Each structure stands twice: as structure tokens, then as C-alpha cells.
A and B are shown apart, each in its own frame.
Chain A
Amino acid sequence: MSGTTTSSGGEYQLPREHYLNASYGIRSWLLTTDHKRIALLYLAAVTFFFFVGGIFATLIRIHLLTPNGLLVTPETYNKLFTMHGVAMVFFFLIPSIPAILGNFLIPIMIGAKDLAFPKINLLSWYVYIIGGCFVLYSFGTGGLDTGWTFYTPLSSVYSNSAVTPAVIGIFINGFSSILTGLNFVVTVHTMRAPGMTWFRLPLFVWSHYATSLIMILGTPVIAITVLLAGLERIFHFGFFNPAYGGDPILFQHLFWFYSHPAVYIMILPAMGVVSEIIPTFVRKPIFGYSFVAASSIGIAVIGFLVWAHHMFVTGEATYAAIAFSFLSYLVAIPSAVKVFNWTATLYKGSISYDTPMLYALGFIGLFTIGGLTGLFLACLGLDIHLHDTYFVIAHFHYIMVGGAVMGYVGGLHFWWPKITGRLYPEFLARAAAIILFIGFNLTFFPQFILGGLGMPRRYHNYPPEFQVLNVMSTAGASILALGYLLPMLYLTWSMRYGKIAGPNPWPATGLEWKTDSPPLTENFRETPEVDWEPYDFVHRPDLGLTGSKPKLPGKLSPAHGDD
């Protein structure tokens, strides 16, 4: 083991004091204002909702094994896919990377002691939990059958399921997102360490800044929208009810004004994770730093102007549809800038295939497929054929699962040594990454074909000729489940038995790697001063890379500490 300074005997020791042992007891967690502990509170809660959503997904896939449905009644099937979507979108994907990794890392990455508003940070967790309780109450008392999109007047007038508590829960949960976004924006503006200029910010921070802008500008709109739908249901108000002359299409506009940018809330942080992982395991500065940074903002801005591409078949005006189609194509440009720059970073780099890198490479491939199939759906003519088919399902799962979740799990591995101070078992982790990749593709690639053949989404049954592809998809889902369970197990195991990681096991260039693993409650012993450019391996003798010339892979240290 070479690399950064070690204690006697070449083995690392855990630091004597760190945020995990600073205080003990349930109160020290539930009343903490330490951004790192709040991140772990989120980790526990978000993992719980991932399981809830995962169970529904499992039941859906089992049900679809046979053409007439294996498991549940059609009504229950409606509830299963609705609750899967609600749990996964609002309570897993949106908070996952920002509220866990972002919360943990942003203050450390910019050299601050905490976020700008630590109490508001804790408040946002409680708001999330309260919103989550309402939604779980809805799941437990009759379930929810409107689709995660809550289209009116089904949700506001006709549905016989527990829509009201779900809508209240999603309304409340929105404020958790708003408060997190607000905290991040203000933190990045006012809490940076000396020398941490805007263009020295890690790309992870840039992508979270862009994400936070969407959270701030989009989430209030979904909050008011579901509130209006809720008022309509509870008090028989008539905002979207055609019986009163209200316009259900207006609900769709308002809903997608948030819910399309919400996709970027999920994917942008994952892109930030990938932008951190790639330079680290290629030993090269990222190609075109400022373009990658600016493309995050570009995605956030253009992302707000594409929402009506979800509504091409609602009879919207042709010229509006053309404009939204064009703008949807436009958003592909900043996304492609990122993909090309990551790929260019790989060129002539000293690549090592550590677990986080496997996830990052998987992300690039799957995100590219997900992004390109998005262009199919932005195409006015083609969308008529593909609308509401499994093609759409496959497309957004490639973005949300292949993209966002791969980024999340990869990021979790990459910063796990920082969070816990210990390394995970590398072999198992690589195996899990590969299992996950195979399982994912086997689950969702057949759905592209099913969609192209015309299998509609949200149906509890299908013609017998679609069975082979559906069985493939279900088989893939079981492999995928294994790919998720494995990291759950070995990451938990490694919290106690993993090898001590040391401050910078990869080594990577960010400020977060210059402090202890796990860090102190105050993050740094003294406020760091930044006098290096981001992702610069050459002028960083403190990283302990021998030779310090990135073109000589043979002389470089292994990318992680234990092989």
C-alpha cells in the first residue's frame, strides 16, 4: 500500500474523534444539526422507501409473467404500479443523491463546516418523514390507483382509493425538497472556503447547484398543483373538473412543469457523481471542465421548457407541439456535451476498473441509450405510436434506474470510505456492479421491444405473443434485485468489518479527501485554503502518486488501497 501518509506499520487507523463517535444516543441523531448525520438519517429513510417501491416492482413483474396476470386483480394491479411510482419518484429518486451524498459532501467539498442552515436541514428531514408517513398511510388504507401522475379528474373526483392522504403527503414532501435546494444554493454562494472560486468547485457541486435551482423553481409548482387537486377532492372545488368548466389539461401542464424537470433533479446529481468518479479512476483532469459545469446549468434551464412533450396526444396546438419538440431535442445538446467530455476524459487515461468506475461506465452507456430513446419520444410523429407504451417505460427506466440509480450506487461506493472510514470488499462490489448492469438490461431492454410492438403501459394483461419478452423482463428483474441486495449486505457488513480506508484511498483530488475518514463534526481542523485547480493530479504531490505523470500508467499506484 502506497499513497498518503500512513500510521506505523503501513496500516491506517480510524481517527480518534469523528462525527460518528462525537456523541451517542438516539437524541444525538434525531436532534443533530450535523449535515453528515442528517445525510445518514436520509440514507436510512430513503433506503426504506426504495424497499417499499422495490416490493411493488417485484409484485408487478411477477404478475406479468403470464398473459392474463398471475397474481392480483386488475384493480390491485393499478394500485401496484401507482404505489411503485409514487414511492420511487417522490421518496427515493428525488431525495436520494442530493439529500444523502449532496448533504454529506457539499459542505466538505467547498471547505465549510456545515450547510448554511443546519437546522433547516434537519427540518427538511422531518418534513420528508411526515410526508412519507401520509403516503404510507395512503398505501396501507386502500392504496392508490391514479398512476403516479395523479391526472384529474380521476384523482380529484372519481378514484375510490386513498388519494387524499397521498396528495397531502406529496404536498408536504415537496417542502423537504425546497428546503434542501434552498440550503444548497445559499451554501454554495456564501460558505466557500478561501480560494474555492466558482470555477474551482467540484463538478458534483455544480450539478447540485443546477439541481437545487430546479428544486427551488419547480417544486413549489407541484406543491400548489397537488394542493389544488386535493382541494378539489376534499371540498369539491372545481379547478380542473370539467363539470365546472375546469380544465384537466391545465393540471397536466402544471404537473409536468415540475415533473419533467424533476427527471433532471434525479439525473443531474448522478451526472455530478460520474464527473467525480471518472477523473479519479482515469488519473486525468476532466476534459472541458467549464463545459461540463455549464452544461449542468444548461440542462436545468432548458429542462424547464420541454414539459409539454408529455402531452403531444392531448390535442395541444400544432405549433406549441413543434416548439416543445424542438426544445426537447435541444436539451440533448448539454447532455451530449457531458457524455462526450466524459468519454474524452477516458482517452489516453490510466483507467482502473474499480467498483465506482464500473458504475460510472455503466452510467454512461445506459444514460446514452436512455437519452437517445428520449429523442424518439420527442419526435412528434413517432411519439403518437410510442406514447403510453412500454417503450416509454423502458426509456425513463434507462434514465432513472440505469442513470440515476447507477450514479447513486456508484457514488455511495465512491464515498463510502469517507462516510464510514472503511472500505467495502472490492471483489464482491465489482461482482454486484456487473450483476446489476446485466440484470438491469435484461429487465428493461425487452420493454423497448414490447413498446415498439405496441404493448401499452399500465395494463394488467397482454396478448400471449408478448409473453417471452415479459418473462425475460421478469427474469432480469430478479437478477437486478440480487444486484441491489448484495451492496446492501456487504456495505452494512463493511461498516464494522471493512478494511480501514484512510483519508484518501483512491486517491482523488477533492477537498473532501483532505480530511479524515470519517471526518470530524466540523469537517476540517482548520479552514482549508484552496490553491489548486480541480482534478489536477500533476501539481498535487500530497496525493502520493509516484511519477505524477498521468501518461505512465505503469508507475501509478493502484486506484484503491487494498489490492
Chain B
Amino acid sequence: MHRTGELYGQYKTLEQQKETATLGMWVFLVTEILFFGGMFLTYAINRHEYPTAFGVGGNMLDLNLGFANTVVLIASSFTMAMSVWSAQTSNKKLVPIFLIFTLILGIVFLGVKVVEYKQKFDHHLIPGHGFDITYCSKQPAAVCGISEEDHAKEITEIKEGIEADGGLVALNAHAQLYFSLYFGMTGLHALHMIVGAGLLVWLILESRKGRFDANYNTPVENIGLYWHFVDIVWIFLFPLLYLINRHLA
């Protein structure tokens, strides 16, 4: 890695070098859109096919945690944008500070995700032999940590779902499809967050040396682009997974 904004051998000018790196990042993000695109397509087709089961599955998610995470991620995008701005305006001291905020918010997001995954595990919502969409409705409300009111709603919903989907076995299978997509999509997103967190650690270490200023800030800008992209993926995931057909708090 180049220590300062020095010119790499294969380029003629710094402008060319910067232009190249930025174009490379945008092309990479295009490949990422197609990468996630395959999953979004699988989601869309199955949601269309099994609206009932997907509605039941979506209601099993914890809206509060999902919403909190959305706020956390948007805030992290703001601090990321601020660190890019700090670099562009040569506020060398501010760059690492904003980056550290971004990293902390990213880690908070991942922490909340761990809590949510653990919850799904406890509620028998991991696809596989132990999967049981009716688990929480068969237990007292306290076991799954939901209010009596929501618990009653859930019992009715599952009853209606079984009817609409043609039996418990079908509902359970299709809900498993929903949770396969939930774990696949949020898992892939979380993996991108982990990669992003790693990049941020490197960027924080570099920026503390005062490397990034108005003349040279390509890494901050490009990792910023990546971070915003991962945020935007979540902005799509949150409504698709948590909000459609939502009627439980």
C-alpha cells in the first residue's frame, strides 16, 4: 500500500490514479448489486408464491430490534460521510474520530444481529429438522418474551395461516423457506458488515498517521462508498423482511 498520495508505477498522473480507483470501486459495487440481486429475486418469487407463510414469518421478527438497527446503520452512514468530508477539507484529526464512531455503530449493529439470531434459535426458527413455526404459539407468552396481546394475535394468525396455506406441514415448510431467506440475506449482509469493519480498522490506523487530506483521500472515499452500499442493502432488507404484512408490534 502506498504510504502517502504517491504515484504508483503504472499511472501517469495522480488524477488518473484517483479516477481509476474510483471507477474500480463503482464497478465493484455493480457486481455486488448483481450478487445480492440473485437473492432478492429468490425472495421476490417466493414471497409472491407464499404470501401467507411469509407474512407469518415476518411477524416472528423483532420489529424493535430491526428498527433500532436501521437507525444505527443510518447514523453510521452519516458518520462515514462526515469522515469523508473531514478528509476532503483536510481536517486530519477529525477523520479517525468519525471513523471510530462508524466502526462502533457497525459493531453495535452486528451485536444486535447476534441477539436476534439467538432469539430465533430459542424460538425454533432455524431451518432444519428442529424448525417449528408454531413453537411460540404453543408456549406461554413469557417464554418467547412477547406481550399477551401479541401472543393472542400470533395464535390467531398461525391458525389462519394453516388454513390459508393448506395445512400445518405446508405452512411450516413455507415458513422455513422464509427463514432460509432471512438468514441467507441478513447473513450475507452481516458478512459484508464484518468485511467493512475490517476495512475501517485499517483506515483508522492509517488516518491516525494523518495520511488523508484534500489532496489524497481515495481510500476514505472508496471505503465510504462500500459502507454506504452495505447500508443501502439493509434499507431494502428491513422493509422486505420486517415490515410487509406487519401487524404485531
Contact = CB atoms under 8 A, between A and B. Distances in A.
A92 to B, nearest CB: 23
B128 A235 contact: yes
B81 to A, nearest CB: 25
A136 interface: no
Interface stretch (B42-50, B142-150, B210-218): B42-50
Given A217-B34, A220-B35, A239-B184, A244 B9 contact: no
Interface string B7-51: 001111000100110011001101110111111011001100110
Contacts of A365: none
Which of under 10, 10 to 19, 20 to 34, or 35 or more describes the interface residues of B? Answer: 35 or more
Contacts of B30: 216-217
A191 interface: yes
Contacts of B49: 245, 247
Interface stretch (A223-231, A268-276, A462-470): A223-231
Contact of A244 (B39, B173, B183): B173
Contact of B35 (A185, A221, A231): A221
Nearest to A178: B31
A250 interface: yes
B176 A238 contact: yes
A521 B49 CA distance: 57
Interface in A358-372: none
B236 to A, nearest CB: 15
B21 to A, nearest CB: 8
B184 A182 contact: no
Interface of A is mostly: helix
Interface stretch (A20-28, A54-62, A107-115, A434-442): A107-115
Interface string B121-152: 00000011100000000000000000000000
Nearest to A175: B31
Contact of A190 (B20, B31, B45, B50): B20
A245 B39 contact: no
A116 B24 contact: yes
Contacts of A237: 127, 180, 183-184
A29 interface: no
Contacts of A218: 34
Given A216-B31, A224-B35, A112 B10 contact: yes
Contact of A250 (B11, B36, B42, B53): B42
Contact of A236 (B27, B36, B45, B129): B129
Interface in A368-392: none
28 contacts: A107-B10, A112-B10, A113-B9, A114-B9, A186-B27, A190-B20, A190-B23, A191-B11, A217-B31, A220-B32, A220-B35, A220-B37, A221-B35, A221-B38, A224-B36, A231-B180, A236-B128, A238-B176, A238-B180, A239-B46, A244-B174, A244-B177, A245-B49, A245-B53, A245-B177, A246-B177, A246-B180, A247-B49
Given A112-B10, A118-B10, A254-B41, 20 more contacts: A115-B10, A182-B28, A183-B24, A186-B27, A190-B19, A191-B16, A219-B31, A221-B35, A224-B35, A224-B36, A228-B38, A236-B129, A237-B180, A238-B127, A238-B180, A244-B177, A245-B174, A245-B177, A246-B46, A522-B9
Which 7 pairs show the lowest CB-CB distances between chains A and B?
A224-B38, A237-B180, A220-B35, A114-B10, A220-B34, A190-B20, A236-B128
